[in-house]
Structure 1
């Protein structure tokens, strides 16, 4: 395996450069449930750009990671994080190109407005929205 991550044994704190390198590589997922490691509010714009890039062969992985991330934030109920997320979704809505990404934004906004509709099958690992 080609070493992409600065810490090959624990790829749980990847940089954006490492995430991008993996996105275009032929390497297997570095860790089980790695969707959790790539997610942060700061990474969302980059992840969205990867999903919109037809040359990226990991779009389903990244889309799934976004659903998990949104579900986790909404379930947390942390008003400040949810507010930052709402602003970010508004920004991403103007930039999104792919139908899948546009659907994710719409569904995410709905979940924020209706947190009681959260369902792990759709907002957890292996999201039915994606797979």
Structure 2
């Protein structure tokens, strides 16, 4: 197994640390790592990683889980609208599906189901469809 890259504070990682970890192939540095990354400030880097075919599967899946958790904990707000509008045109099916789901729940807030966004199995377990 690959070594975990240096992360100064795994409970408050930087975008550079998240990116380095995702590309390392290493195990999660702490339990619930996806929750540590699930902050709106990390939205751009998480979308970048999910759509990056060169990112190892573990990194992509964990970034995707963080994206879904982020929406599930904060519920869709305007901060997600621009990211979803960009990601809906992604060539990556995982990113495009996330965007479609975000836009749907923004348009129909009554359809929001926290277990779909934060649960397992949930949307992160069904990255397309």
TM-score by length of 2: 0.81
Among 113, 117, 124, the residue aligned to 1:119: 113
Superposed CA RMSD: 1.9
Question: Unaligned stretches of 5+ in structure 1?
Answer: 76-81
Among 80, 87, 90, the residue aligned to 2:82: 87
In structure 2, the partner of 1:78 is: none
The answer to whether the Cα contact below 8 Å between 1:63 and 1:130 also exists between their aligned partners in 2 is yes
Question: Unaligned stretches of 5+ in structure 2?
Answer: none
Mapped to 2, the partners of 1:2 and 1:84 lie a distance apart of 31
In structure 2, the partner of 1:71 is: 72
- Give 1:83 deviation, angstroms: 1.5
The answer to whether the Cα contact below 8 Å between 1:45 and 1:92 also exists between their aligned partners in 2 is no
Structure with larger RCO (C-alpha < 8 A, sep 6+): 1
In structure 1, the partner of 2:96 is: 102
TM-score by length of 1: 0.80
Mapped to 1, the partners of 2:88 and 2:7 lie a distance apart of 31
- Deviation track 1:43-83 (CA, whole Å, cap 9, x = no partner) reads 212111111111111211111111111122217xxxxxx11
Relative distance call for 1:109 and 1:4 in structure 2 (3 A) is same
1:13-52 equivalent positions in 2, closer than 5 A: 13-52=12-51
The answer to whether the Cα contact below 8 Å between 1:67 and 1:127 also exists between their aligned partners in 2 is no
